């Protein structure tokens, strides 16, 4: 798996990352969602450099201009519900992409720290021979991402696979490296230190879904 880290050089991306972490800012859910969306836009721009392009000629009011446009048939697929603002950021840039949505959550069958991943709701277009962008803000253990990936692969084989996350833990990256094809691209806005005993990212941001849309039962 090829991993791309986007926050190593100073840019406006780090400004937005700081705001989604800051407890004095993140309590404003509308601002939190907008910052996630803006991070998605920055990540989409960086990821776009790795896509395939074709030469085209554009008719302007005064003549013909040779340029390039994206050749890939893109499918954006996010994991509900936390992935929605990030999905929107990508969609703002890849506005011709098809869109898919999948639910995945931690299920604690014994009401203890053990959990498995349940993948239930799916609304996904045909991904066969297309470029799949799988989107989720947080990569903690990596189990949700792999579970969703495996479920999507039952629907067809994409030509290329890109996974985009905002904050990743080393454990999650290692899990993806073990369970996903070497040809996958992983795009990470920033890498954090570790997982805590409850498998949450430290220092992280808290629960991205709750911060964006309110507490759940």
Predicted local confidence at residue 107, as pLDDT: 64
138: left (phi over 0), alpha (psi -120 to 50) or beta: beta
**pTM of the entire predicted model:** 0.92
Token pair belonging to 204? 């992280």
- Minimal CA–CA distance to 139: which of 173, 107, 90? 173
* Phi, psi dihedral angles at 99 (to 5 degrees): -135, 140
Bridge-based pairing state of the strands 138-139 and 185-191 = unpaired
* Helices marked H in the chain: 12-21, 29-48, 84-93, 143-153, 170-179, 208-213
Bridge-based pairing state of the strands 131-135 and 194-195 = unpaired
128-167 pLDDT tens trace:
999 999 999 999 999 999 999 999 999 899 999 999 999 9
Round to whole Å and give the CA distance between 136 and 39: 12
Report, as an integer, the average pLDDT of 1-17.
Answer: 94
Predicted local confidence at residue 176, as pLDDT: 97
Reported as a pLDDT band with limits 50, 70 and 90, residue 198 is confident
Predicted local confidence at residue 109, as pLDDT: 67
Reported as a pLDDT band with limits 50, 70 and 90, residue 118 is confident
Reply yes or no on whether the pLDDT at 111 is more than 80: no
Q: In this predicted structure, which of 84-88, 116-120, 148-152 has the lowest mean pLDDT?
A: 116-120
181-191 pLDDT tens trace:
999 999 999 99
- Minimal CA–CA distance to 117: which of 172, 168, 193, 160? 172
Vertex 181 angle, CA 150 and 118, to 5°: 20
Predicted local confidence at residue 73, as pLDDT: 97
Q: How far is CA 210 from each of CA 82, 137, 141, 167, 206, rounded to the nearest angstrom?
A: 8, 12, 19, 16, 8
Predicted local confidence at residue 108, as pLDDT: 62
Task: Give the torsion sign (CA, 86, 90, 96, 97).
Answer: negative
Predicted local confidence at residue 114, as pLDDT: 66
Predicted local confidence at residue 150, as pLDDT: 92
- Minimal CA–CA distance to 43: which of 147, 136, 181? 136
Report, as an integer, the average pLDDT of 10-28.
Answer: 95
Predicted local confidence at residue 216, as pLDDT: 78
Neighbours of 12 (CB within 10 A): 10
Round to whole Å and give the CA distance between 112 and 105: 15
């Amino acid at each position: 798996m090829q991993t791309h880290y986007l926050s190593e050089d100073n840019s406006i991306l780090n400004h937005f990352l700081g705001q989604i972490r800051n407890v004095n800012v993140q309590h404003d859910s509308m601002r939190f969602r907008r910052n996630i969306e803006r991070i998605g836009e920055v990540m989409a721009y960086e990821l776009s450099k790795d896509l395939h392009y074709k030469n085209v000629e554009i008719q302007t009011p005064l003549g013909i201009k040779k340029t390039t446009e994206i050749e890939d048939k893109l499918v954006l697929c996010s994991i509900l519900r936390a992935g929605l603002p990030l999905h929107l950021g990508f969609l703002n840039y890849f506005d011709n992409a098809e869109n898919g949505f999948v639910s995945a959550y931690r299920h604690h069958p014994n009401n203890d720290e053990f959990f498995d991943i349940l993948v239930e709701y799916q609304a996904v277009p045909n991904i066969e021979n297309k470029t799949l962008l799988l989107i989720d803000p947080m990569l903690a253990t990596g189990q949700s991402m792999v579970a969703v990936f495996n479920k999507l692969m039952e629907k067809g084989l994409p030509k290329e696979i890109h996974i985009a996350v905002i904050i990743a833990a080393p454990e999650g990256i290692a899990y993806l490296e073990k369970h996903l094809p070497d040809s996958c691209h992983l795009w990470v806005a920033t890498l954090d230190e570790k997982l805590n005993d409850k498998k949450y990212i430290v220092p992280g941001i808290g629960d991205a879904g709750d911060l964006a849309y309110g507490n759940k039962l």
